[in-house]
Every structure is written in C-alpha cells, then in structure tokens.
Structure 1
Amino acid sequence: MTKELVQTVSFETHDFEDLEEASAGWDQQYYKMTPGEFSGKIDFAQAGSCQIIRETWNQKMKYCGSGPKNTVGLALPLKQRGTGSWVGSPACLDTVIVQVPDKQGEYVGTDFWDTLILAIPENELESYASLIGNYDGLFEGGHKALKLNPQSAARLRRAGLEFFHLLKTSLPGREQQIVAASKHLTQMFLFELAQSHHIRDDDVRTCNARKLVKKATELVAGETNRTIELLEICAELGVSLRTLHYAFQEVTGMSPATWLRRERLNRVHKMLKRAAPTDILVKQVALDNGFIHAGHFSKQYVKHFGCLPSETLNISAAP
C-alpha cells in the first residue's frame, strides 16, 4: 500500500499578510478592516490530497481569493462573534461557506473568527457519493452560504477539534492514522452538509418553490396556440431545469411536464363545458391550449377525464 504523505505547518503571527502564504496552493489576499494589533494563528495539514486548516483572526478581516486548483473549499466557524458576509450572503456561526473550484470569492469577517477549513479535490467528491448519499446540487453553480442545523454544526466542530488534537499529539510514523482521520472528517463534513442541505430545502425552499410553480403555471397559461417548452420556461424565469423540476416535485409531487400538461387539459375541459357545441370546435380549443396533435390530445383527455372531449362538449348542451 502506498503511503500518503502528511505535511503540517503551524504558526502564530502579528502580520496579517502572513496568512496569504500560509496555505499551499491558495491564491488569496487579506485586508485588515479594523484598527488595532492583529493576532492570527494557522494550523495547516495536507493529509493525502485534502487540506484541513484551522485559521484564527482577532480583527475584522476581508478575504479575497480562491482555493487550490480544482478543489471545493468548505469553512465552518468554530467560534465567531457576530455575522460575517460571504459573497453578499450572511454567514453566521452555523453557516458553511462553500467556495466552488477556481472562482474568486470574498468573505468579510467579524472581529473574531476561529474557523475549520477543508479543501477537497473535485475528483474525490465522486468517491464519497456512495458513502454519504445524494448531495446533488451542493457544489454546482456559484459560491454558497449553507446553514447547518445546530446539532450538525456541533458534531463537526467536535470532530474538527479532535483532528487537530490528533495532529499535535500523534507520534512520528503515524502518518496513515492522520490520513485516515482526515478522510473520516471529510466524509463526516460532507454527510452533515448534505443532510442539513435537505433540511434547509424543507424549511426555506418550499416558499420559493411555490412561487416558482405559480409563475411557471401562469407563464404557460399566457401562451396560446403552442406548447411552451420547459427550457423556455427556465430561461424566462432564470432558473435551471433541475431547479424547476425540484420545485414542482416539492409542491405538486409531479414533474413540471406532467403538471403543466394537466393544467392545460383542465383548461380545455372547462372551456368545453362552458361552450355550446355550435359555437366552438374541439380541435380549435385544443390548438388554443397548445395541443398540436389531435389524436394524442384525445388519448390524454380520455385518460385524464374518462370521456372524449366531444362528449364533454355535448354534455354542456344537455338540458
């Protein structure tokens, strides 16, 4: 078995710019935003291909930069006074900062920040998927500030502190023990983040999902004579197809295509029920609601309502 190397650096400093060179591979700049003497500390470990860092500041600082190439950066405060800001989003004590690969980010901290930071290569995230379950969407798009539930945050803080205790007390020749502990902490971090992400979706996304479903439904209702495609809806609303799908599943329990098609079928049904047979043609009503193929429309209608569209129209004329 090939031994995985462990490299460590630990130091304290009164020069905040020392932080810029402390972590291997990071492209970063720090700005001191409050007066007074700066005091900082770095504990850095490169264990295998992952980095685990503990970084402490006693001043309000601004960080601008990116992590090592092709890595996802994650940061969770161990201690923090007040609320910071990550790319414009509030970052409180239980917030995980997610820095996507190879993109500059900006964090404005509080007047005290003691933080656990992980840098995980993109290609290693795949290997964790089967172990931690689905974290689909967590690392897509731009940077994020994701709120953990308090219990998850507390577990990760304890695990992070235990890792650095092991790092300081481990005897020479125990590199593989440190690498194993690093992998365990990384796996645990991703698992807790994925679990809290789903909880956050339940608490926060539902309201947004309802608004999105409402807007998409209204958009389709406003289109006549054609079927508006899902990608057109996404472009109009400024969301991804995946986001649209998740919103509809959350609110309706159906795919957007199924829900919107049933909305149109119901619209046809109501129009036919309200019309006199001598006033409209079934085919025209179907076309007006985006059903181009008459035969396909008729099958869908029968399956949904249990009768032919012409029967609905004739019923409307019955005394």
Structure 2
Amino acid sequence: MGQFLLVDSRKLDGFEGLHQAVHGSHVDVMQLGRGRLRGTLSHVGIGDFSLSIGTFNVGMRTQRVSSDNKLIIGMLLAAQERVAHWSFDMQLNDVLVIPPLLEHDGVFHGPSAYAAIRFDLTEVASLFGGEARLGDPDTWRSRGHFRADRESGAIASRRLVRIMSHLRSNTHGLTPSTADFWKRSIVECMAANVMSSLPPDDTGWLPSARRLIRRVEQHLDEAGTRPVHVSEICAALGVSRRTLHRAFQEVFGLGPVTFLRHKRLCTAHSILHASAPGSTTVAAVAMEQGFYELGRFSQYYFAMFGEHPSQTLGGGAPRQNLEPSGHEF
C-alpha cells in the first residue's frame, strides 16, 4: 500500500473553500476584495506531513488559532498587492514560520498564491538534519519571517509547484523510501530560502494599529454572527472614529464602516451558502445582518461576490465537489 493519506485538488468558488487552506488546520477567512472568489486548492499528505498550495483572485483576511502541536512553514508564491502576516510585510518567495499553538493572522490585499507545509515538530531533526541550526526544534518555536533571495527564492517556488503537480498525478502511492525523499524535497525548498536569507525579522512587535484591530476583532468574535455598528466598537473600546479609521486604513486599506459591511456580507454569504432552499429567505438573512433595504443589500452582495443572493442560497453543496485540476500557474 502507498503511504499517501491524501491527494486532492479542488477549484474554489467562494471564500469558504479557504477554511482548509492548510491541510489539517482550520483557518477563519473573510473576503476583503470585491468579486466572485475563484482559485484552486491542492493538498498532498504523506503520513502526518502535508503540502498545500492555494491560489485566489481577491483580497482575503485569514486567521488561525492552532489547536495542535504541528509546525507550519509557508511561502508566498505570488501576490499582486501587499501581503502582511502579523507585523511582517511579505515579498515574493519569503518564508513564514508559524510555531505550534501560536495564533496567526494575515492580510492579502489582492490576488495571491501560497504554499504551506505542516508537520510535527519532532520531525525537524530528521528533515533538517543536514543543517545544525535548522535541525534544532527550538529554532522553530518562535514565529519568524525570512526574506528570500531573489534568484534562489524563485527557483524554490517553481520547484514546489512542480513537486505538487508530480505527486498529485501519482496514482500508485509511495513506498517508505520514496515518501521520505519527497518530504525532504519539499522541505528543502523552504530551507533554501531560510538559509539564504538574513536573520529572521523577529524583533518587530505589533504596531498600535494592529493592536487596536486585534481588540476590534475580539469584540466582533464575542458578538458572534450579530451585526456590529461602528459606534458600538468606539464606545466599547474607548476610541474615536478618527483613530479607528486610521487603524483600519493602515492595516486593511479600508475604513471601518466598509470593513464591517464586508464582514456582514461574508456572514450572509456563509449562511445562504449553507442553507437549503425553503429553510430561509434572502430577506431574512439580510435583515439578520443589519441590511434593511433589500435592494441595496443585493447591490452590495453582487458587487462583492459576483452573484445574486438567491443564486447562493442552497448552492453551496455542488461547489465543494472535488475535481481534478491542471497546473495552478
């Protein structure tokens, strides 16, 4: 028997598909850019080790609270606009280290592509054994940002995509020896960028704008799916609208009112996406999310997602069907 636990590839048609952006790890996502999200998501699993590659065509906000002891190492493969993780601004082929049990957040301001590997920290010594520093598990216990060398970074990025394509088309499984080879080949792509970079940029703390955004999002999490008005946030956090506006513009490139509307639209999309026809109505969902004019809600919704609310209602199941896809790039 081959050792693949998973080989799958799917086309994305909605931001909900990115909840599984990294195989084995749930990611909370919110669409920031306008338009119907399109993209691809591919996973290859070798034992407890996985490689995920994803692409998407609109801006996204991603958050993850780890519930396991897995290490995640990611690489930015493509980006048309700014990409930031924690307080780090990412450039093409940069490597990001997300240690076990550490909360992570990122903002993709436009179409992007990424690769991410996820594995147990106990495998570090064997997979990175050729380099003493990288083979030390303590090296990976702190978040890190490694700036990629331009030339070697581009090579590593292309190699990861080719490896994914090859493994995805392999229908015979892997023997233990070939499984180990491919895991090391994948890890080597990440390690090459780490070793060619400057020391990790791990001295920057979250600036005040991001700290304020974190407080806002904690308040929104506590509110659940109910709509939250900007004035409620200002009162609860004791900040002025001007301060709040500056923070949102710095982090997201959007004002807080627009951000909150996008969040309510995303919540409405998820509810409609998961609901069976006849179980609810577009008007009811719009009202629950604070949209009192159905016509205006429909305009916002279509501008955001490229489809009418009635098209989303009950249409979620077919979009999740797995289907083979070609090369991502």
Q: TM-score band, normalised by the shorter chain?
A: 0.5 to 0.7
Per-residue CA shift, 1:241-292, capped at 9, x if unaligned? xxxxxxxxxxxxxxxxxxxxxxxxxxxxxxxxxxxxxxxxxxxxxxxxxxxx
C-alpha distance in 2 between matches for 1:165 and 1:29? 27
C-alpha distance in 2 between matches for 1:60 and 1:177? 40
What's the counterpart of residue 168 of structure 2?
A: 168
What's the counterpart of residue 300 of structure 2?
A: none
Structure 2 segments unaligned to the other structure (5+ residues): 205-329
Matched, 1:145 2:141: no
Matches within 5 A, 1:161-240: 161-174=161-174, 179-197=179-197, 200-201=198-199
C-alpha distance in 2 between matches for 1:12 and 1:5? 21
Pairwise CA distance, 1:67: 5.3
Q: Secondary structure at the match of 1:158?
A: helix
The count of residues paired between Structure 1 and Structure 2 equals 202
Aligned partners of 1:6 and 1:179 also within 8 Å: no
Pairwise CA distance, 1:162: 1.8
C-alpha distance in 2 between matches for 1:131 and 1:118? 19
Aligned partners of 1:24 and 1:68 also within 8 Å: no
C-alpha distance in 2 between matches for 1:3 and 1:37? 38
Structure 1 segments unaligned to the other structure (5+ residues): 209-319
C-alpha distance in 1 between matches for 2:190 and 2:21? 25
Pairwise CA distance, 1:158: 2.4
C-alpha distance in 2 between matches for 1:22 and 1:140? 22
Between structure 1 and structure 2, the one with the greater Rg is 1
Q: Secondary structure at the match of 1:131?
A: coil
RMSD of equivalent CA atoms = 2.9
What's the counterpart of residue 112 of structure 1?
A: 111
Pairwise CA distance, 1:68: 6.6
Matched, 1:69 2:76: no
Change in Cα spacing, 1:201 to 1:19, as seen in structure 2 (3 Å) is closer
Change in Cα spacing, 1:83 to 1:157, as seen in structure 2 (3 Å) is same
Change in Cα spacing, 1:21 to 1:183, as seen in structure 2 (3 Å) is closer
One-letter code of the match for 1:189? C
Pairwise CA distance, 1:187: 3.5
- Give the fraction of aligned pairs with identical amino acids, expressed as a percent: 14
Change in Cα spacing, 1:3 to 1:9, as seen in structure 2 (3 Å) is closer
One-letter code of the match for 1:139? W
Q: Secondary structure at the match of 1:27?
A: coil
Aligned partners of 1:159 and 1:185 also within 8 Å: no
Change in Cα spacing, 1:34 to 1:175, as seen in structure 2 (3 Å) is farther
Pairwise CA distance, 1:22: 5.9
